[in-house]
Structure 1
Amino acid sequence: MRWTLKPKPDTITVSTLSDKLGVGLPVARLLVQRGINTFEEARKFFRPELADLHDPFLMKDMDLAVERIEKALENGENIMVYGDYDVDGTTSVALMATFLRSRYPNVATYIPDRYEEGYGVSYQGIDFAADNDISLIIALDCGIKAIEKVAYAKEKGIDFIICDHHRPGSEIPKAIAVLDPKREDCKYPYDELCGCGVGFKLIQAIVRKNEEPEDILLPYLDLVATAIGADIVPITGENRILAYHGLHVINVAPRKGIKSILGDRKQVTITDLVFIVAPRINAAGRMKHGLHAVDLLTEEDELVVKGFAEEIETFNTDRKSTDKIITEEAKKQILELQEEERLTTVVYNENWHKGVIGIVASRLTETWYRPTLVFTKSGEKLAASARSVKGFDVYEALDGCREYIEQFGGHKYAAGLTLLESEYENFKRKFEEVVSASIDRKLLTPEISIDAELELKDITPKFYRILKQFAPFGPGNMSPVFLSRGLTDTGYGKCVGGDKTHLKCQVRQYENGPAFDVIGFNLGDKLDLIKAGKKFDAVYSLDENTWNGNTSIQLKLKDIRESV
C-alpha cells in the first residue's frame, strides 16, 4: 500500500476557522482540506438545506421537458417511464412513475431485459410503446447516446424526454428535451448528479412551475439517496444536500420497499445503502428482471411488499453464489495464462452470467489492482464490464480502442461495452497498449489517502461527535483517515475471527496517554509488527464499538508498518 499524506492546509485559515466555529484545530484542518474556509461554508456543510438546491430551470431543456409533460397530461396521452436495470435506473423509474401517477393515471413503467435487450434504450421498448399507444417516453439514467433509437421512435410518432448523467458523444439525440448536466452546452452549476438526481430535478421543476410547496418532494428523497450511494457519485454540492435529507427520510419515514430490506436497522447511513439496499435492488436486474425492483420500490401494500422483498432476497443469494464461482474461475484463468505481468486484466468465458460480470471485475481489480474487463457471450456478440483503479480513466482508455468496439458507455471508473467475438483478441491487445502508454505506474499500487496526522490524545468524545457530523460520507467527502506514529500494543494483540485473519489489539502512543481498542480486518498477518513492544505507525479511521452495553471509540485499521 502507498501511504499518501495530504498537504497541510494554510495555518492562518485553519486557525481563523477554528476560532469562528469554536472547534479544535484538528477539526478545522479537516474542514479546510474539504474546501470549507468560512463560517457560512461550514454552516452549509453541517446543515445542508433543501433551499440551497439550484433552480432546476438552469438545466438546459428543462423548460421544454416540463412543457411536454404538461401537454401529455392535458391531452390524456399515455406516458412510459423507461430506465436502466441497475439501482440508479430502477430508483429513477420508481421516482418518476410514483410522482406522475400521483396526479395522472396513464403511466406505464419499462425496464429493458439485461439479456434480451441489453443496456439503455432498446428497439423492443420503443415497439412496446408503439403497440400500446404510448406517445411520450421519459428515459432515465440512459438515452444520451440513443441517436438512432430516438429517431426510430419519432418515425412511430413517439416523443422522448431524456434524463441522463453519462457523458454525451459528439452528437445529442434529437429528443424533445435532453436533460444532462454533462452536456457541454448545459450551464447547470453542478454536473455530478446521478440519473435519479436528474429525474428529481425534473419533478422539482414541475412542482415549481405549478407553484406547489416543494416539501411534497421530500418522500422521493429516499430513492435519490439510495441512487447516490449505489452509483458512487461525489457526495458534494447538491448530492450532499439530497443524500443528507434522503437519509433523514429513510430514518424517519422510509417507503415500505426500502424498509423491508433494512428491517429494524437504526441510524441508517450511506454505507448501509451501498452494502445492504443496493445489492438487493441490483440483484433483481442481474438475476431476473429490473421491474421486480421497481415493483418493490413503488408498492404500498405491506403484505405484497413482504413477498417482493423475499423474492429479491432469493435473487441476491443466487447472485452471491454465482459471482463467487465466476470470480474463482476468472482468477484461475489469469493464473493459467500467466498474465499477472500485464498492466491490464482481461478475461472471457462464454458461459459466465452476464448479470454478475461487473461484480467479478470489481473483485479482480481488488486482487490484482489493474484496469479490468470481464467478458461473456451476449447473443451474437461479447459483452463486458470494465472497472478501473483510482486515478485512471477507463472510459478514456476504451475510447482509445473504439475501432474494435461496437458500443460502449459509462464513467471514469466503471463502463460497459459490446464487441464482435472476432475482435476480442485485437481489442485485448489494443487495450493493453493504450493502458501501458497512458497509465502512471504508481497507480498500480493501492493508495491510502491520509487526511492528517493525529495524536491519540486529540481523539476525544467531542472530536468524534463533530466528526460524525461530516457524514454522509462518499466520494469527494470520504470518512477521514488518520495517521498516528510510534504506537505500542498494551499486550492484548492477537488474531481473531473464524480463520484468524483479523488483527485485534489495544494501543497507546505515550506511556500515560489514552489507550484505544483497535480492529484491523484482514490484517492478521501483521501481528508480528506489534509484538514484544515494537513501535509501529498506523493508518485508520474512527468508529464506535458497543460491547456489553458500553460504547467506545475504536480505531479501524487500514494498514500498519514498523516505526522508523
Structure 2
Amino acid sequence: MRWTIKPKPDSKKLEALQKALQVDAVIATLLLQRGVETYDDAKAFFRPSLDDLHNPYLMKDMDKAVARIEKAMANKENILVYGDYDVDGTTSVALMSSYLKSKYNLVYTYIPNRYDEGYGISYKGINFALENNFTLIIALDCGIKSVDKVAYAKTLGIDFIICDHHRPGDEIPEAVAVLDPKRDDCNYPYKELCGCGVGFKLIQALAQKDGKTAEDLVEYLDLVATAIGADIVPIDGENRVLAYFGLMIINTKPRPGIKAILNQVDKTELTITDVVFVVAPRINAAGRMEHGNFAVRLLTEEEEDLAAKYASEINDYNLDRRETDKLITEEALKQIEDNKEENRLTTVVYHPEWHKGVIGIVASRLTETYYRPTLVFTKSGDKLAASARSVRDFDIYNVLEACSEHIEQFGGHKYAAGLTLLEENYEAFKQAFEDEVSKTIDRNLLTPEIKIDVKIDLDDIKPKFYRILKQFAPYGPNNMTPVFMTDNLIDTGYGKCVGEDKTHLRITVTQPQSKSLVAIGFGMGDKFDIVSDKKPFKAVYSIDENEWQGHVSLQLKLRDIKE
C-alpha cells in the first residue's frame, strides 16, 4: 500500500473557516479538502436542502421531453418505459413508470434480457414496441450511443426520449429529446447525475408543470439514493442532496420492495455503504441471474405481502449469484496463475462458459487482487462480451476508445465499462489493450493507494469530534469517509487475531501519556507481528462506533499498519 497524505490547506483559509464555524483545525481541514470554504458552503454541506436542487429546465431538451410526454397523454398513446437491467436501470424504470402511472394509465415497462439482447436499447425491444402499438419510448440509463436504433425506430413511427448519463459518442441520436448532462452542448450545472437522477429531473420537470415541487417527490428518492450508491457516482452537489433525502426515506418510509429487502437483513439504519453492499446486490441479482423485470416488479409493488414474496425470490437469485461468482473468480485466478506473463500491466481472462451476469463482479475481484486494469470475457451468442474495471485515477473508457478498431460496441465510465467484440479479434484486442495501458498509465497507479486526509493523535478523537464527523455522511466519491494517520502507537498487550479462521486483527492502541482505543483490522491477521511485543507502529484508519451489549464506544477501523 502507498500512503499519501493530502496537502495541507492554505493557512489563511483554514484560520478563516475555523473562526466562521467555531471548529478545530482537523474538522476545518477535512471541510476544505471537500471544497467547503465558507459558512454558506458548510451550511449546504451539513444541512442539505431540496431548495438546492437545480431547475430541471436548465437541462438541454427538457422542455421537448415534457412536451412530448404531455402530447402522448393527451392523445392516449401507449408509453413504454425502457431501462437497463442493472440497479441504475431498474430503479430508473421503477421511478419513471410509477410516477407516470400516478397520472396516466397507458404506461408499460421493458427491461432487455442481458443474454439475448445485451446492454442498452435493442432492436428486439423496438420491435416489441411496434408489435404492441407503442409510439413513445422513454429510455433510461441507456441510449446515448444508440444512433442507429433510434433512427430505425423513427422509420417505424416510434419516438424516443433518452435519459442517460454516460458519455456521448461523436453523434447524438435523433430522438425527440436527449437528456444527458454530459452532452457538450448541455449547460446543466451538475454533470454527475446517475441515470435514475436524470429520470428524477424529468419527473421533477413534469411535476413543476402541475405546480408541484421537489418536496412532493421525496417518496421517489429511495430509488434515486439506491442508484447513486450502486452506480458509484460522486456524492457531492446535487447527488448529495438526493442521496441525503433518499436515505432518509429508506430509513423512515421505504417503499414495500425496499422494506422487504431490509427485513431480510435485519438492518435498522442504513448508510450509503449498506445500500451498496446490502440493497444493490439483491436488486442487481435479478438481472444477473434471471431477468431485470423481477427487480422492477419488486420496486413498484405496493402490497407488502407480495413485495415480501418477490424479495424472497430475488434473495434466492442473489445466493445463486454469490455461488457463481465465487466459482468463476477461483477459475479466473487459476487461469492467471497458470498463464502468468511477466511484466503485463493488464489482466485479461476469457472462458466461453462463464456466466455473463457475474463477469463484472469477477472483474472487480481480480482488480482487488492484482490491482491492474482488468477485463473478463465470456461468450455471448456469436460474440465475446467483457466487463472492464480499472484502478483508481486511471480512465479505462479512454483506453477502450483508443482500441475501438477491434471492438464491436462499448460504453461505460472512467472505472467500469462493458464491450463486445468478434472472437477473431480477441487476441489483437488483448495486445492493443496491453499496449495502450502500458503507454498511458503512471506506474505508481499499479500500487494501491491509501489517501490520508490528516494526521492526528488519539487524544483528538473525542465524542464531540465524532458527532461532527458523522454529519459528513452520506459518503462516496468526492466525499469519502475521512481517513486518519497516527504514529508512535503501541498495542497495550491485548492484541490478538480473531474470527473463525483468525484472519482479523483486534488490538487496543495507545500513545505515550494518551488514552487507549480498540482497533479492528479486517483481513489483517497476517500483520500481527508488526504490533506484537509492544513494538511501536503507525496506522491508517477511519473512525466508527462499536455497539456491544448495549454499550456504544468509538473504535478505529484499520486500513493498514506499518512498523
Measured against the shorter chain, the TM-score band is: over 0.9
After TM superposition, the structure 1 = structure 2 runs for residues 30-429 of structure 1, keeping only pairs within 5 Å, are 30-263=30-263, 264-339=266-341, 341-429=343-431
Task: State which of 485, 496, 499 in structure 1 corresponds to 2:498.
Answer: 496
**Structure 2, gaps ≥5 residues long:** none
- Contact preservation (8 Å) 2:50, 2:214: no
**Cα separation, 1, equivalents of 2:212 and 2:271:** 30
**Cα separation, 2, equivalents of 1:340 and 1:249:** 51
The offset of 1:13, in angstroms, is: 1.4
**Cα separation, 2, equivalents of 1:92 and 1:33:** 32
Please state if 1:544 is matched with 2:551. no
AA paired with 2:120? G
The offset of 1:513, in angstroms, is: 1.0
**Cα separation, 1, equivalents of 2:213 and 2:185:** 30
SS in 1 for 2:473: coil
**Cα separation, 1, equivalents of 2:29 and 2:437:** 36
SS in 1 for 2:184: coil
Aligned twin of 1:518: 519
**Cα separation, 2, equivalents of 1:212 and 1:234:** 28
AA paired with 1:87? V
**Cα separation, 2, equivalents of 1:339 and 1:482:** 37
**Cα separation, 1, equivalents of 2:391 and 2:302:** 41
**Cα separation, 2, equivalents of 1:29 and 1:414:** 31
Higher alpha-carbon deviation: 79-88 or 207-216: 207-216
Aligned twin of 1:557: 558
SS in 1 for 2:544: strand
**Cα separation, 2, equivalents of 1:339 and 1:475:** 33
**Cα separation, 1, equivalents of 2:498 and 2:342:** 31
Please state if 1:527 is matched with 2:493. no
SS in 2 for 1:538: strand
SS in 2 for 1:97: helix
After superposition, the C-alpha distances for 1:436-485 in whole angstroms (9 at most, x for unaligned) are 01100000000000000011101000000000000000000000000001
**Cα separation, 2, equivalents of 1:427 and 1:199:** 35
AA paired with 2:550? G
**Cα separation, 2, equivalents of 1:67 and 1:339:** 57
Give the number of aligned pairs.
561
AA paired with 1:529? I
**Cα separation, 1, equivalents of 2:554 and 2:511:** 16
AA paired with 1:545? N
**Cα separation, 2, equivalents of 1:269 and 1:370:** 29
Aligned twin of 2:466: 464
**Cα separation, 1, equivalents of 2:532 and 2:117:** 58
**Cα separation, 2, equivalents of 1:279 and 1:387:** 17
**Cα separation, 2, equivalents of 1:39 and 1:286:** 46
**Cα separation, 2, equivalents of 1:11 and 1:258:** 46
The offset of 1:216, in angstroms, is: 1.9
**Cα separation, 2, equivalents of 1:197 and 1:444:** 32
SS in 1 for 2:488: strand
The offset of 1:19, in angstroms, is: 1.8
**Structure 1, gaps ≥5 residues long:** none
SS in 2 for 1:334: helix
After superposition, the C-alpha distances for 1:26-82 in whole angstroms (9 at most, x for unaligned) are 111111111111100000000010001001000000000000000001111000000
After superposition, the C-alpha distances for 1:81-110 in whole angstroms (9 at most, x for unaligned) are 000000000000000000000010000100
AA paired with 1:459? I
SS in 1 for 2:480: coil
**Cα separation, 2, equivalents of 1:267 and 1:41:** 27
The TM-score, its normalising length taken from structure 1, stands at 0.99
The offset of 1:12, in angstroms, is: 2.1
The offset of 1:340, in angstroms, is: 5.7
**Cα separation, 2, equivalents of 1:89 and 1:248:** 22
AA paired with 1:558? R
**Cα separation, 1, equivalents of 2:315 and 2:267:** 17
- Contact preservation (8 Å) 1:334, 1:340: no
The offset of 1:303, in angstroms, is: 1.4
SS in 1 for 2:81: strand
**Cα separation, 1, equivalents of 2:469 and 2:82:** 40
**Cα separation, 1, equivalents of 2:387 and 2:488:** 43
SS in 2 for 1:112: coil
AA paired with 1:318? D
AA paired with 1:426? A
AA paired with 1:548? Q
Aligned twin of 1:17: 17
After superposition, the C-alpha distances for 1:150-179 in whole angstroms (9 at most, x for unaligned) are 011111110000000000000000000000
**Cα separation, 2, equivalents of 1:103 and 1:208:** 14
AA paired with 1:211? G
Aligned twin of 2:437: 435
**Cα separation, 2, equivalents of 1:252 and 1:365:** 36
The offset of 1:17, in angstroms, is: 1.2
**Cα separation, 1, equivalents of 2:309 and 2:254:** 18
**Cα separation, 1, equivalents of 2:289 and 2:275:** 20
AA paired with 2:506? K
**Cα separation, 2, equivalents of 1:27 and 1:437:** 40
The offset of 1:228, in angstroms, is: 0.1
SS in 1 for 2:539: strand
The offset of 1:214, in angstroms, is: 3.2
**Cα separation, 2, equivalents of 1:533 and 1:64:** 69
After superposition, the C-alpha distances for 1:346-371 in whole angstroms (9 at most, x for unaligned) are 00000000000000000000000000
**Cα separation, 2, equivalents of 1:282 and 1:490:** 44
Identity of aligned residues (%): 67
**Cα separation, 2, equivalents of 1:227 and 1:482:** 29
- Contact preservation (8 Å) 1:340, 1:368: no
- Contact preservation (8 Å) 2:383, 2:422: yes
The offset of 1:338, in angstroms, is: 1.3
RMSD: 0.7
The TM-score, its normalising length taken from structure 2, stands at 0.99
The offset of 1:253, in angstroms, is: 0.5
AA paired with 1:424? Y
**Cα separation, 2, equivalents of 1:496 and 1:342:** 36
AA paired with 1:454? I
AA paired with 2:431? R
After superposition, the C-alpha distances for 1:309-360 in whole angstroms (9 at most, x for unaligned) are 0100000000000000000000110111113631000000000000000000
**Cα separation, 2, equivalents of 1:340 and 1:65:** 53
